[in-house]
Amino acid sequence: MKIQMRRFLILTVVVSVSIGFAGCAPRTADKVSEAAGSDTTSAASAKNDYSAYEGVSEFAEMNGIFGRLTARQFSNESVSEEQIDMLLNAAFASPTGGNQRSCELMVVTDRSMMKKMQEGHPYSQPLDTAPLVIVIGVNEETAKYPEILTLDAGIAAMAIMVQAAEMGLVSVPMSIMPQAERIQGIANAIGHPGNVAGQIMVAVGHSAVDGDTHASTDYFNEEQVHVNGW
């Protein structure tokens, strides 16, 4: 009974998230058109193939969070303007504390800028090959609840990764907070103003043929679920 209820709840959540993200109207393509290249891959492209992965969630074909693929090496295929726009819409569709909406997104497709970012971030090897990285910062001047800005940024990052999976793309998150040297290093590389602090960044692209790619594993543990009490 518990397993059946679990599957019903998961199906409901995943379908709701998928519909919500797929329904976002493109609004930012004009800002990324010149930087994204000429790739015309549709945002509605084929989903990922999970048959080659061990331990993958039984719900992977439903996509949502279950369909996320992690990669640290990417092919040279670019991410299309339409796909970038959908990723940004997904981030802005994510909830924020008190609806403060203080996340600032920096889209980076320039290889030289990524090299500068790596100089200030010792664990950013995915940028060696990633065609796209989205830096999620928070605007401390517009925040109503600054103590939860990092949480807002993390939720936006997850929305980006889920939407990437929906479009057959792979992704990997890299933390910026709380290390001061990483925050300053990324700020120096991308030139954001002092009232904005980088929190996390997500590299997105297509998996390299010989790259090490992992599917979201089924870690469900019923012993860690507590209903109406411990």
Domain ranges of the chain: 2-39+50-219
CB atoms near residue 43 (< 10 Å): 22
pLDDT at 118 (0 to 100): 97
pLDDT in tens, the chain (230 residues): 444 444 433 433 333 333 333 333 334 444 444 444 444 344 444 566 666 556 665 666 666 787 788 889 999 999 999 999 999 999 999 999 999 999 999 999 999 999 999 999 999 999 999 999 999 999 999 999 999 999 999 999 999 999 999 999 999 999 999 999 999 999 999 999 999 999 999 999 999 887 666 766 678 899 999 999 99
- Give the integer Cα–Cα distance in Å for 179 and 105: 19
pLDDT at 150 (0 to 100): 95
Let me know: does 214 contact 56? Beta carbons within 8 Å: no
Range 2-39+50-219 has CATH code 3.40.109.10: yes
